Amino acid sequence: MTILDKIISDKKREVTLKKQLIPVSQLENSALFGSQTHSLSKNLRNNLVGIIAEHKRRSPSKSLMNNNFSVEEVAIGYQNAGVSGISVLTDGKYFGGSLDDLLFARASVNIPLLRKEFIIDEYQILEAKAHGADVILLIAAILTRTEIKQLSEFAHSLGLEVLLEVHNRKELDKAVMPSLDMIGVNNRNLKTFEVGLEYSKELAQHIPDEFIKVSESGISSTEAIIELQQFGYQGFLIGEHFMKTENPGIAAKSFINALLIKP
């Protein structure tokens, strides 16, 4: 059993329990449910440097990264740094996140928020909407084509954008469809944790032009961004590189400033 199999098996149990505890009607009646969303894809299209900075306390591949700051402080620091959006990990068991993190981030900033989660059920998309997300992540490795279609269309019906994550050509070919907004290539193999920017470089040419391309994971230098931009990437999801520093917001700011002054 890989770590991804374990995460998904736990997630199925978690979703079943939560459905019993918090009915859909409660999510639909929440104050944020009817609120306007912010478009991440537009921000990435219009921004010179499309950084999506992640709030990540820990991960299966790295134990504790940062507990010095509250999620609000991190989110405000990222917004002040000029990021295009913020990714908030909401999985508790493996990443130390929660839906409250999303809620507190929403209360602190007015830029697009991605619910970074292992989404397997429409219920989690309702949760995302009720806690202030603008974008959801769908992971091709854990979903069938039919599920991707149903979940992405459901997200759109709630006004949420969809970032589809792939890791190889097979997943990409299975998943490409009009109801996606952005396609992200995860440079991390979620089964082995091996990381390499080659995945983004190799897959770029196969991603249809109508989708914003996002490179995810293992990005730790401005040189990497400049190289990935040459492959057509407009979004760059960065977690560990910022979160492992003393102050993630300041780290994101100096990273973005360094990119802006590069010729």
Binding region for ligand LARABZUK (CB under 6 A): 3, 54, 56, 59-61, 186, 188, 190, 193, 216-219, 237-241
Catalytic, 262? Answer: no
CA distance linking residue 199 with residue 135, whole number of Å: 23
Instruction: Mark whether 73 is an active-site residue.
Output: no
**SS3 for 205-226, per residue?**
CCCCCCCEEEEECCCCCHHHHH
CB of 170 to ligand LARABZUK, least distance (A): 18
Which residue, 119 or 219, is less far from ligand LARABZUK as judged by CB? Answer: 219
What's the min distance (Å) between Cβ of 26 and ligand LARABZUK?
Answer: 28
Which tokens hold the place of 248? 């993630």
Measure Cα distances from 122 to 16, 40, 137, 141 in Å. 12, 21, 12, 17
Of residues 214, 47, 209, the one with CA closest to residue 114: 214
247 is known as an active-site residue? no
Task: Clarify whether 227 is annotated catalytic.
Answer: no
User: CA–CA separation, 107 vs 183, rounded Å?
Assistant: 27
Q: Can 54 be counted among the known catalytic residues?
A: yes
Nearer to ligand LARABZUK, 43 or 90 (CB): 90
| 161 counts as catalytic | no
Phi, psi at 136, each rounded to 5°: -120, 160
CB of 17 to ligand LARABZUK, least distance (A): 21
Of the residues 11, 43, 56, 213, which is catalytic? Answer: 56
Catalytic residues: 54, 56, 116, 165, 186, 216-217
